Structure 1
Amino acid sequence: MNPTEAPTPQAGSLLLDDQLCFALYAASRAVTARYRPLLDELGLTYPQYLVMLVLWEQDSISVRSLGNALQLESSTLSPLLKRLEANGLIRRERRAEDERSVALHLTEAGVRLRERAGTVPLDIGAAMGLTSEQDAMAKQLLRLLTVNVTAGG
């Protein structure tokens, strides 16, 4: 079957090609693999890149807010943040107004890395080969799927 053709859903089918979960899994693995060489040049893993995207958008963010933005638990974030800090890209500081809260800040190296990372979205977009309308539709459908599945739990 042509991957751009929409297959007719088979209710209750146990065929692999009929599973939306497998299509998501395969697409996720393919996209993440496409990111790997680009991020290797930056010295980042894909999860570290996601952290940096949030910090490039909003420097000085709490670990809790970062976790909410990335839909990750602090136990998952902690090793990522330690590695980014060890690599000199971020700085963690206890907030004066609340010692329990940790703020994340970009270092100068973290700010400079943003410029080097500027071509990553363009390269990935070109590799995906979607029109701007298809890109917007894919994001909309995936966000809806996330909301629906999360609410159903």
Structure 2
Amino acid sequence: MREKTIDYVLRATWIAVAKMYNEEASKKGSTMATGFALLNIDPDEGTPSTSLGPKMGMEATSLSRTLKTMEGKGLIERKKNPEDGRSVLIQLTEYGREMRAFSKGVVLKFDDAVKETIPEEDIKTFIDVANTMMELINNKKIYKQDLTK
């Protein structure tokens, strides 16, 4: 669908952004998924593993695999949650904090480059449009469930 449907533009843009982030992450032996996880872990308090998946929009199996890889690389530690003995807190190691700072820098550099190039009003419109699309999707206003089956 090269007629530039909204779907095509979104997908093509996200694929380009993901590729760019993965190229930057690979310079440090990492991936975009790892960087995203690092940015979603509270650097001071840690983050309960149960809230990390929904926060990132990841399925449990994908998140589990990412966390296992991160633990193997020494980026995170799993500790018992002192407030809930049944859950686990994901905490950054010192190396994890360094890599989190690197990931944050990569994201902010992209953000700054976009803001330097695209007028503020256009960025505001883009964000408004994206939020409206998310609302349509989250409220199931596009593909309503057929309850007659």
> TM-score when scaled to structure 2?
0.77
Match of 2:11, SS?
A: helix
Mapping 1:85-104, distance limit 5 Å: 85-104=71-90
| Residues 109 and 125 (structure 1), Cα distance of their counterparts in 2 relative to 1, 3 Å cut | same
> How many pairs align?
139
CA-atom RMSD in angstroms? 2.4
Equivalence for 2:147: none
Match of 1:42, SS?
A: coil
Comparing 42-51 with 101-110, greater Cα deviation is found at 42-51
Does residue 1:17 correspond to 2:3, yes or no? yes
Provide the rounded CA distance (Å) in 2 between the counterparts of 1:40 and 1:83: 15
Comparing 20-29 with 59-68, greater Cα deviation is found at 59-68
| Residues 26 and 127 (structure 1), Cα distance of their counterparts in 2 relative to 1, 3 Å cut | farther
Does residue 1:73 correspond to 2:37, yes or no? no
Q: Counterpart amino acid of 1:63?
A: S
Mapping 1:1-153, distance limit 5 Å: 16-56=2-42, 59-125=45-111, 128=114, 129-152=117-140
Provide the rounded CA distance (Å) in 2 between the counterparts of 1:70 and 1:58: 18
> TM-score when scaled to structure 1?
0.76
Give ranges in structure 2 of 5+ residues lacking alignment.
145-149
Deviation at 1:142, TM superposition (A): 2.0
Q: Counterpart amino acid of 2:98?
A: R
Provide the rounded CA distance (Å) in 2 between the counterparts of 1:75 and 1:66: 12
